Chain A
């Protein structure tokens, strides 16, 4: 018995000593502290998104983009990068627990995520407190870059821009004056539907209603019949592709034949056309065009070789996943300091370095440049329309 107690004490003493002492060598002057790696340890960068559950296609696809970025830039000063993939199942609650798990790991230095706006909303304060910079591949909620966050960055555009341009396009180019905006009750869709409604009214158009639906709903026919009773000329939808595809395929039966369906960047992709079939004809969405480049061709080839699926099948966002991770890895490369055998990464230094990114050669843009609020995405977008089963650029832009 006594020996056992002694053993336990000895163990505790070792742990305490190990925890307190060996980091003295490097003087860490960073305000948020430093991440220190001993030889053989990996530098962890996380991707967070829906890997299981109804939106698993997005997470799977974007994480593959991030994986390819790590393959292309596998180490810093001889310390291997490790991509940690965490699953939110698309839900905010899960997202908070994943974020807490990541900040508890001292070897996680940056997060390429999160993927959905609702999930990002709850995660930002957690990373803010821990001093872990983020680079979201896909969240476009306008307010994220307007609230003075020091850790949040994105390679996607802002919905402030998308809402304004969409309202202008609908009012000026399509000449439509009566619309209903619909969202899926997620922060992203709701922000967009409300944004478009506000911009559209500013232009002089009439917004008959802003309708909420449930994300992942199995059937929209009753909700659509309710909208049909308002006789709108166009439905603007903020949400994701699968819900939008189901909605457009049920519009005719709900009495909305001939009403224009206008989606957003969440509804753009090959998948949407596959799912909605003929009903997709004449519907709109938003796309950030990926400029043709050798790097992108190489990426498409690598993607197919590594995963078997053609790039773009699961979602259009794997290049964004690649760029989010690549920008983070490059910034880590720039700030990491070799200290004897150890590697030291100053945390605030990293967050600031990310925002200094300038003319970075990515896939979504040949010159990714971040500003002081964390906007690193190209602030341009194109509206697309489905014609004969394929997305083409909509006329009149």
Chain B
């Protein structure tokens, strides 16, 4: 183990000396050339298009960031990727869906503004609760028995848990897709209209709500991790489980807590997704889950601020990237993941990642 970790940096250094600057120069030259063509030569898009694409990127990025926080929290403490996290988001989306449907059936959803707010708030609360319970159970059933096993084992268990949740949801909620019942005040077509470049640009209320809420959740989590006793315990366990236990910290409890927090965030993200995107089904957590995982890696996995930055950057890049490079929007994911690869070549620990201690490696 020790000999390989010592031999490795030497080799990659000599390789890196040649390849990295070459790659960097080529990539930057290509991007500048494409940007120049798109912006000044062809002038494919007016300002209004750039604004529209940018807004859609920020909103998606906000959701990715909230989901990514869950990945990063769990990774920071257990050094495992909780691949079932996207499916916890799906459960949250369904909890919110059924809450809103129930209010709608009771005729309260659109009675007046106050009731609409209550309905949406209750939907968020229900989803956060369901997400929290699901994440805690997930940890108990699928991960805790494997805590001393080699690191690949809980990873496989996580993939199994993800498939289990997806198929359980298919059995419970059916194969059909469901449309979220938004209150009319935040209908998916409603929003503020700005004039950019003589054209109307619509910022939907759901989009604004999603973005603002995601920022609030991120700030909340930062405060929780940095300022509270629970956060301190989490950071201690992340640093060294054994020593933390010796200091009187209940490690199981702290791990449970971090899963609970990640579940709360995923549940909230599920309702944001439902309100803004509008269509949910048993598979809805898969793509945001994968993107958020990517965002967490991009920002530096294990780092809370990194996950936030990674999420926003990924959302904006995958929206603006194809436009800026003048390629088909079908290649959104290709552009986003290419950038991930490039970032990891130049900063293997991610944008805000720190060098991991010997133990975490």
Contacts and interface: CB of A to CB of B under 8 A. Distances in A.
Interface string B143-168: 00000000000000000000000010
B170 interface: yes
Contact of A57 (B56, B175, B291, B318): B175
Interface string A201-224: 000000000011110111101110
B111 interface: no
A358 interface: no
Contact of B56 (A225, A271, A274, A275): A225
B139 to A, nearest CB: 26
Contacts of A314: 175-176
B330 A212 contact: yes
Given A52-B170, A219-B60, A222-B56, A229 B45 contact: yes
A218 B287 contact: yes
Given A214-B330, A218-B287, A56 B319 contact: no
Interface stretch (B11-19, B46-54, B241-249): B46-54
Interface in A172-188: 185
Interface in B181-218: 187-189, 191, 199-204, 207
Contacts, number: 123
Contacts of B189: 249, 252-253, 278-279
Nearest to B321: A222
Interface in A222-258: 222-223, 225-226, 228-229, 242, 245-246, 249, 252-255, 257
Contacts of B52: 221-222, 225, 228, 253-255
Given A53-B283, A56-B170, A57-B176, A214 B44 contact: no
Contacts of B53: 221-222, 225-226
A218 B277 contact: yes
Contacts of A276: 179
Given A253-B204, A255-B200, A214 B175 contact: no
Given A212-B328, A214-B333, A249 B56 contact: no
Interface string B271-301: 0000001110111100110010000000000
A330 B330 CA distance: 44
Contacts of A53: 283
Nearest to A56: B175
B332 interface: yes
B319 to A, nearest CB: 4
B175 A252 contact: no
Interface of A: 52-54, 56-57, 59-60, 185, 211-214, 216-219, 221-223, 225-226, 228-229, 242, 245-246, 249, 252-255, 257, 271, 274-279, 313-314
11 contacts: A53-B283, A211-B330, A212-B328, A218-B288, A221-B52, A221-B56, A242-B279, A249-B278, A254-B52, A255-B202, A278-B189
Interface of B: 44-46, 48-49, 52-53, 56-57, 60, 167, 170, 174-179, 187-189, 191, 199-204, 207, 277-279, 281-284, 287-288, 291, 318-320, 322-323, 328-330, 332-333
